Structure 1
Amino acid sequence: MELQSAFYWADIQIKQFFQDLLNAFNSSLFTFAGEKFSLGLVAGLITQVIIVLVLANIVKRLLKERILPGFKLEIGTRESLSTITSYIITAIGFLIVLETAGINFSSLAVFAGAIGIGVGIGLQNLSSNFISGLTLLFEQPIKVGDYIEVDKLAGTVETIAIRSTTIRTVNGVFVIVPNSRFLDNNVVNWSYRDPKCRIEIPVRVAEESDSLTVLEALLTAARQEPRVLPSPSPEVYFKGIAEDALTFDLMVWIRDPIEMDAIKSALRFLIEAEFRDRAIDQNIATKLTIENLPSLAALLRSSPTNEFAVKAGDSEMAEMPIGGWMLRDLLRKVSYFQQCGEIELRQVIEKGYRKKLPIGETICREGDPGDSFYIILSGSVEVFIESIDKQVAVRRAGEFIGEMSLLMGTPRTATLRTLEETILFVVDHGNLQNLLKNNQGLADKIAEELSDRQEVLKSLGITIDTTTKEGTSFDQIRRRIQSIFGI
């Protein structure tokens, strides 16, 4: 009996404990928006809010990693769409949670209006960044993955959140930037629409330098850098003469703006090497004015160990040898360009390009269309006729090949192959077309010379018949050139 009585009282106490615990959970803690909140209701609301946040995050990850990539959208667009969707789900979820809690929205609106002014003043920066974040996500002036520059800070956009944006600089440092700064300041977006951009390398050389030699050196340096785009082609602007120096700007296009500084550095190294090979002086002389020249001259003459004594003719420095070939001199070896001035040659050099080939590489094959001719800058090339399986010639540095097929628009009569590692300067159809359009007299010179080379034309399969009404050989060749190049 005593044991049964003990179990009975224990059971009553346990039931009373749970009843008291249930009453504590259901007892009102506070009243908000016309609804009494108990501990149990608050715990339920917290649980529902956590579920909403987790669900929004799951949807965001699914959209960004699984669904949107199938639509071939850019990474920045995927990030924006998934983030906006996540915010919408979160907002709707909060409204549903509040509705299920029985909160009166009309009274909540009154409460929000009562404290709105105070909160707006106290959280002005936060609200500004919040609205700026929504603007960035919807308008997308910048996106995740873009390379941007704002307030002298440059880097790649990693994330765009509702309050701030994370930027990773080229040094690998992550910087948190408030969103309002992107709307209040000028932002340079190097990746906007087209990531290609043009960079500028300013160069100053001594006033005595030859401008065409400088032009050739700068273009050669630009064409050696693999990260410089071949199209649009590099350009050199002659800015003028200032402070006893010639000033130039080398303009090149690149594909990845984040490598801008590295490419500029590589180009400066290449420019310095080309200038050294061509003996181009970058040391700008400083003018020195001596007011009492007679006294200085007397002092120098009186010194028995005068290290500054100047002998007649010593002031004329011998011309320094230039390493490598000068393109303008090589072009003048082509008979058609012998009478060209420096302006015409500059046009050819600007639009041509260098091509480096390994040993055994085929440049063009017998029967291919003659769309370019080549100047050999280094190495050697064999001229091989496949139809008779015979090597007919070997061309070496300083020689040119393939000009007749280009001028006459005929197929190649031989195959060209490199016998060693070779660097060519290529003048293609478009390059020559621009030159002939701007210099009609050059087309006449070429036609005049070709009219005297009937045997060469016959080897190309071109027969000039002067007995017809088509005119002289000069007239026929000139019309053919005009037709080929559209001039």
Structure 2
Amino acid sequence: MDTQLQQLLTAILQFFTAPLFHIGDTAVSLSLTLGVLIALFVIVFLVSIFKNFLRSQLLVKLGMDEGNRAAIATIVSYSAGTVGFIIVLQSIGLNLASLALVAGGLGVGIGFGLQDLTKNFVSGLTLLLERKIKVGDFVEFEGLSGHVKEISIRSTLVRTLDGSDVIVPNSFLVENRLVNWSYDNYAGRIRIPVRVEFDTDPLLVTEILARVAHSEPDVVHAYPPEVLFRGFGDSSLQFELWVWIKRIDLEAQIKSSLYFRINRELCLNRIKVPFVQTEMWLKNPEELMAYGSKVEDVLKMRGLEAQSLETHNLEAQGFESQPGSPLYLRDMLRQIAYFQNFSDLELRQLIEVGYRRSIKAGEILFREDEPGDDFYIILSGSLDVKLLKLDKQLATLKKGDFVGELALMLDIPRTATVEALEDTTLFAVNRNGLTRLLQSYPNLAESIAREICKRQEELALTQKQLRKLGLADAPEDGKNLLLWVRQRLIGLFGL
């Protein structure tokens, strides 16, 4: 019995160790083949763990972004896997020179069958090394848009905005045109078409659209919005609002928010969005004459119903019917001495760089030591300028006065606290908008300089703060204040 078992084991051993073919001087048996396959499986498993460790732990601690982590982890792990596989082949005695000879002989025949795989492999290396597309990027191609989830050697995985995963061959991404919205950053410009009735004031539409753009938190306020009058349509005046948004991959959500805001403002200002009207011609109008009075009564009734329905819709959206027309930003700006002689086109440019802001009595506009991000012109109401640290009032500002210009123009924290003494309406402009405004209207810079010089004490505090920051020399204090302010405006805004 023992002899038979020994013969069986010997036969099995011979079956696994019997040479199947030779690669150079190396005899390839079934046991050798199984060993190589097991070693390959172990290497792939270890490489996968090593890749995840690099991407999720080690490179994260080094402060690398997601795209760089994915590229480095993929290249390093594949390189380590290749080296490991070569070491395994050499350890089992396989002559790599003879293997290369066999691969060269089969390469021509196999190349034709695997040319697509080879092309995708090379394209994958190109994507990983050039890094024009990285994991986390928001891309768009052939009507498909989404975030790059993974870049492997053969293909790239793209997660669409609908949540589906699309596998794209790497060669397609290399050879075809592709838009990478997040190559530098996620900011991008979107366009919002708006149509209004023919009798609508274009300047009023410009004000409304610019105000809506400034009120949307996802809009990049560093770039002033643009309102374009696109022309005359079949039944409407056609406008387009151009704004830069912080996240282009959230375009649909931001557009929706802007449309809601625009619709609300148009309703509030009784501006209607027109629709294509169809005229109907009656072949026998005389037959309706007998019913003329009835038709007239019906039309009157429908007119009253339509008016009642419109009022109900406005009240449902939170609008109250008020006597008289609302006071528009255009009219308020024209009450300021600096803008009285502005034409409609100049007012349109002015409205685009700023927006209207209202604050209640007792509300703080800004506090001491806060960053100076905005410049304000008082359109109505009054403000109290004071130093809370010293419990001292500096000035009371009224319609036509400027406030907040020192911190914004000189790039320093706020030097005073400003509080509304009554309900106040302001025209607000940020740094880029102010630069554009001053470069377009140099005379406004002179007016601002003169207004600044009226507030002697606040200006002295500003000079002191500038000296602490190393932005002003002590000899500058002895200069004429108007000349000093004027020179700083010219230097900072390139006037």
Normalised to the residue count of structure 1, the TM-score between the two structures is: 0.74
Partner of 1:149: 140
Give the 3 Å change call, closer, same or farther, for CA 322–297 of structure 1 in structure 2. farther
Match 2:91 to one of 70, 93, 100: 100
Partner of 1:83: 74
The Cα of 1:79 is off from its aligned counterpart by 0.5
Is the contact made by 1:277 and 1:324 (CA closer than 8 Å) also made in structure 2? no
Q: In structure 2, what is the Cα distance between the partners aligned to 1:404 and 1:336?
A: 15
More helix by share: 2
2:346 is the counterpart of 1:344: yes
Partner of 1:6: none
Give the 3 Å change call, closer, same or farther, for CA 180–422 of structure 1 in structure 2. farther
Match 2:296 to one of 307, 311, 314: 307
**What is the SS of the residue equivalent to 2:217?**
coil
The count of residues paired between Structure 1 and Structure 2 equals: 444
Match 1:47 to one of 13, 17, 38: 38
Is the contact made by 1:381 and 1:416 (CA closer than 8 Å) also made in structure 2? no
Is the contact made by 2:235 and 2:274 (CA closer than 8 Å) also made in structure 1? no
Give the 3 Å change call, closer, same or farther, for CA 434–155 of structure 1 in structure 2. closer
Is the contact made by 2:188 and 2:245 (CA closer than 8 Å) also made in structure 1? yes
Partner of 1:403: 402
The Cα of 1:58 is off from its aligned counterpart by 2.9
2:176 is the counterpart of 1:185: yes
Partner of 2:164: 173
Match 1:161 to one of 152, 163, 175: 152
Q: In structure 2, what is the Cα distance between the partners aligned to 1:366 and 1:159?
A: 48
AA at the equivalent of 2:91: T
Is the contact made by 2:375 and 2:403 (CA closer than 8 Å) also made in structure 1? no
Is the contact made by 1:382 and 1:391 (CA closer than 8 Å) also made in structure 2? no
Q: In structure 1, what is the Cα distance between the partners aligned to 2:445 and 2:14?
A: 105
Partner of 2:313: none
Partner of 1:280: 271
Give the 3 Å change call, closer, same or farther, for CA 400–169 of structure 1 in structure 2. farther
Stretch deviating more after TM superposition (221-230 or 61-70): 61-70
Q: In structure 1, what is the Cα distance between the partners aligned to 2:391 and 2:82?
A: 81
Is the contact made by 2:332 and 2:379 (CA closer than 8 Å) also made in structure 1? no
The two structures, once aligned, show a CA RMSD in angstroms of 4.6
Partner of 1:195: 186
AA at the equivalent of 1:59: F
Q: Gapped runs of 5+ residues in structure 2? A: 304-321, 459-479
The Cα of 1:119 is off from its aligned counterpart by 2.6
The Cα of 1:168 is off from its aligned counterpart by 1.0
AA at the equivalent of 2:338: Y
Give the 3 Å change call, closer, same or farther, for CA 442–309 of structure 1 in structure 2. farther
AA at the equivalent of 2:296: E
Partner of 2:115: 124
The Cα of 1:355 is off from its aligned counterpart by 5.1
Stretch deviating more after TM superposition (213-222 or 409-418): 409-418
Q: In structure 1, what is the Cα distance between the partners aligned to 2:116 and 2:431?
A: 61
Q: In structure 1, what is the Cα distance between the partners aligned to 2:36 and 2:415?
A: 86
Partner of 1:36: 27
Identity %: 36
Give the 3 Å change call, closer, same or farther, for CA 180–24 of structure 1 in structure 2. same
Q: Gapped runs of 5+ residues in structure 1? A: 1-8, 315-319, 463-475
The Cα of 1:189 is off from its aligned counterpart by 0.7
AA at the equivalent of 1:349: I
Is the contact made by 2:368 and 2:414 (CA closer than 8 Å) also made in structure 1? yes
AA at the equivalent of 1:136: L
Stretch deviating more after TM superposition (88-97 or 282-291): 282-291
Which structure has the larger Rg? 1
Q: In structure 1, what is the Cα distance between the partners aligned to 2:376 and 2:288?
A: 63
2:140 is the counterpart of 1:137: no
**What is the SS of the residue equivalent to 1:93?**
helix
Is the contact made by 2:378 and 2:424 (CA closer than 8 Å) also made in structure 1? no
Normalised to the residue count of structure 2, the TM-score between the two structures is: 0.73
**What is the SS of the residue equivalent to 2:74?**
helix
1:122-141 C-alpha deviation (Å, 9 max, x unpaired)? 33333332222222222222
